Amino acid sequence: MKNPPFNYHRPATLAEALALLAEHGDDSKVLAGGQSLLPVMALRLGRPEHIVDIGTIDDLKPISVTATGVTIGAMVRHVEAETSAVVAEHAPLVAAAMPHVGHRAIRSRGTVVGSIAHADAAAEMPAVCLATDATMHVASSTGVREVAAADFFDGFFTTILEPHELLTAVHFPSVRPTMGSSLVEISRRHGDYAMVGLACQVDAPAGVIASAALSFFGVSSKPERVTAAEEALVGRAPTPEAFAAAAAIVTEALDPSSDIHATAQYRRHIAGVLTKRGLAEATSRVGVTT
């Protein structure tokens, strides 16, 4: 299906992009990899009059390492994060998520940050941001701000981003050697959006769990952490019994919907199964950095 007509802008700099967003506001949309925006437009689910293509802005392309972690720019494509040694070392949960995002052709165009800005409830990256306490770097023509992942996602396909704002990068805190992570999900076919998924990160120094993050996707209008289950794991050894106890709390706590893909009851059951699987995988990776 053909896209509806629109005005196409290709700014060369971040300042030009922000000026265009300030000028056109509600009538504009940022174009990154186009893997979600173009289908949305073709299906007439969105009809922006102005498209601001950020694909040629060099400032948005780097993956950079700082003292506190790794920062992924808005034009870093999924495949670049998937194959990046620094992402694997400093943000292994991001690297683990990448192979689950669609298919390789989609990952060669789609961007990590675009996936976060799009905020699909069944997408991997928003849940990874929540599990890792990532920080969103937001810019507009009037300034910049940083937003914690916990405050960024607002509901189905909705974030706190204003129409004139651009998500320039996302910062993921470096993992410690005592940490392990995993991304597990159930989908009908590999590459499909998950029916339920879990981004999981555990800190277990000296064989005792000091903290755990259990961030689910596909169970609500936005990614959801189950803090009661996370807290129940603290102070326990990483054993199947501890994981089963956490899974029981998750199954009680989540309140997913039924849809054409799965019933709510099935989703709750799968969330429990994934809790045990994800925790076993994450704790087996404590100290493994690649």
Ligand X SMILES: Cc1cc2nc3c(=O)[nH]c(=O)nc-3n(C[C@H](O)[C@H](O)[C@H](O)COP(=O)(O)OP(=O)(O)OC[C@H]3O[C@@H](n4cnc5c(N)ncnc54)[C@H](O)[C@@H]3O)c2cc1C
CB of 238 to ligand X, least distance (A): 28
Residue nearest to ligand X (CB): 110
Q: Across the chain, which distance is largest between two alpha carbons, in Å?
A: 60
Q: Which of residues 87-126 bind ligand X (CB under 6 A)?
A: 101-102, 106, 110-111, 113-115, 117-118, 123-125
Q: Does 193 bind ligand X (CB under 6 A)?
A: yes
Q: Does 21 bind ligand X (CB under 6 A)?
A: no
Contacts of 130 (CB under 8 A, 6+ apart): 149, 150, 153, 199, 213, 215, 223, 224, 225
CB of 243 to ligand X, least distance (A): 26
Q: Does 18 bind ligand X (CB under 6 A)?
A: no
Q: Which of residues 232-271 bind ligand X (CB under 6 A)?
A: none
Q: Does 74 bind ligand X (CB under 6 A)?
A: yes
Among residues 84, 74, 89, 71, the alpha carbon closest in space to that of 172 is found at: 71
Q: Which of 34, 99, 163, 205 binds ligand X (CB under 6 A)?
A: 34
Among residues 92, 94, 89, the alpha carbon closest in space to that of 169 is found at: 94
CB of 44 to ligand X, least distance (A): 15
Please report where in the chains the tokens 């996602």 appear, as a residue.
Answer: 153
Q: Does 31 bind ligand X (CB under 6 A)?
A: yes
Q: Which of residues 151-180 bind ligand X (CB under 6 A)?
A: 161, 166-167
DSSP string across 103-144: -HHHHHH-BHHHHHHHT-TT-HHHHHHHHHT-EEEEEETTEE
Q: How far apart (Å, rounded) are the C-alpha atoms in residues 130 and 57?
A: 27
Q: Tell which phi-psi region holds residue 287, choosing left (phi > 0), alpha (psi between -120 and 50) or beta.
A: left
- What residues line the site for ligand X (CB under 6 A)? 29-37, 39, 74, 101-102, 106, 110-111, 113-115, 117-118, 123-125, 161, 166-167, 193
